[in-house]
Chain A
């Protein structure tokens, strides 16, 4: 193009004193930023296509590379920022909807960071998790209102199916197709080793992964891709996906180019065809319709598996959750507006939905007020970034958390947010065989196991510090939380006091 409106976002800086011209960066950048010029005997880079994935930086054996923001700036303007202007240029050129990936990066408040945890001092002693037993195991599903016993003392109460988690963390739904086979395998193996669950997303389940069935949550989404009897029976639980935090109110679209042989078999659609998930489930227009699907799935699996209903956190989330609790679902998963995605329209991702912290607090309160909190477990997702976020979520009322982005970070993701291009340099969000192989699942699953073990240990330390020795005793214990820098309304919604109170 003769006139280029776009300035590169990043600047690739190579320290010529350190570079040994090994060309590893050239070989590892799928965006073809680096190349070796034999005539000049020099490594040259073209920053224009760099997405700041940091792959080259991590692989360079002499630490010769740095990626920085391009110092070139449009004229300062607080209203028309460079990002806003660039988006206008892009749309003027392409005429298309802006696409993006991963979670909402905009500067909205992160409520997790405005909540502080309590610790015991004199009157009730803290507990040392290394010396005393500490329970992080949780069960997801309906909890009986009361327990009755038979004459011989055995339990009479019928327990509906539940999921047992060794720690209150699960891997979020990420479909095979949006992520690579090796990423999928890493998640599945890690879930099996950890005694937790991963989630197939809406892409069906590859036959090679059926063996991880006991640790798999199978998803039924609006496109119904890959859903059939064996699929439903293989999973430990079935999740009906009504919405996703990154793109509430819209469906999904996996381009035909990504539907290669394996993905096509798994999704049960012809090779090369676009996989389009409609915005609504065409058979669900009310809670009654949802109830029908919940019970169809229960019927199909002989009432042996808990049913999860996943929704995006939107304005009236509490009322929706109340409806779901009455629909017969066993677990509600709520995905906040910072939730990740493999591809979403930028405007939707950045402007639709509400923070998970507020959604969780209001859902938990509403279900308690209506006396149906025991009818469902509540799982939250949408940017749970650390063990302290998990602890805060549980104290706000969650039963467990889904982690998606954090899990991908463990696999190498550097949040360059270019998943939609299919050229993930870390072998995660791609189907290109040469890139997929960069993620060795033997390494990947181990890193995921490490991450969750580390979080589990930190959770024990934090709750031990509060003098609590089980997750069950922390759940909904909002007295363990204090707000900082929050206004009255925010404190009221979160149901917590301000620090110092």
Chain B
């Protein structure tokens, strides 16, 4: 199955993937509207930075996802290998946040429910927008 991978050698820490992700999954028509009037939609991909190395982190879509196991309401589930969250069922207990070994489940002050990567299967963008928006082809969508 094709997944999103990050080649840290080429990650520039420009953080654009975060903005593409947040905008695409915000429901807004375009990026400007997504961030208009002080709105701060959340991204499921997060760039980790240090002096010498940076990389973007998002859900690994584990074959045996610990987050799904830990979810107390059944909001998290796997479909065709994609781990995704039914936000209407999430109660914001954050058990999955504790369970995910990669720290890929994102929380924010704007919303009580969690946010995670679903490989852009719930928007109409085709391939994941972080991959398409990466200026240095550090993020790739491929079979490994």
A residues whose Cβ falls under 8 Å from a Cβ of B: 17-18, 20-24, 27-28, 58-59, 61-62, 433-434, 437-438, 440, 442-443
Contact = CB atoms under 8 A, between A and B. Distances in A.
B15 A443 contact: no
A56 B116 CA distance: 29
Contacts, number: 49
Interface residues of B, number: 19
Contact of B15 (A23, A62, A434): A23
Interface stretch (B67-75, B84-92, B106-114, B135-143): B135-143
B14 interface: yes
29 contacts: A18-B32, A20-B31, A20-B32, A22-B15, A22-B16, A22-B19, A22-B35, A23-B15, A24-B15, A27-B12, A27-B13, A27-B15, A58-B135, A59-B14, A59-B135, A61-B16, A61-B19, A61-B31, A61-B133, A62-B31, A62-B32, A433-B52, A437-B9, A437-B12, A437-B136, A438-B12, A440-B10, A440-B138, A442-B137
Contacts of A443: 136-137
A437 B9 CA distance: 7
B96 to A, nearest CB: 28
B5 interface: no
A57 B127 CA distance: 25
B20 interface: yes
Interface of B: 9-10, 12-16, 19-20, 31-32, 34-35, 52, 133, 135-138
B32 A24 contact: no
B14 A440 contact: no
Contacts of B138: 440
Given A440-B137, A442-B137, A59 B16 contact: yes
A33 to B, nearest CB: 15
In this complex, which of B13, B31, B32, B52 has the most chain A Cβ atoms within 10 angstroms of its Cβ?
B32
Contacts of A440: 10, 136-138
Contacts of A62: 31-32
Given A21-B35, A22-B35, A437-B10, 8 more contacts: A17-B32, A24-B16, A59-B16, A61-B20, A61-B31, A62-B32, A438-B136, A440-B10
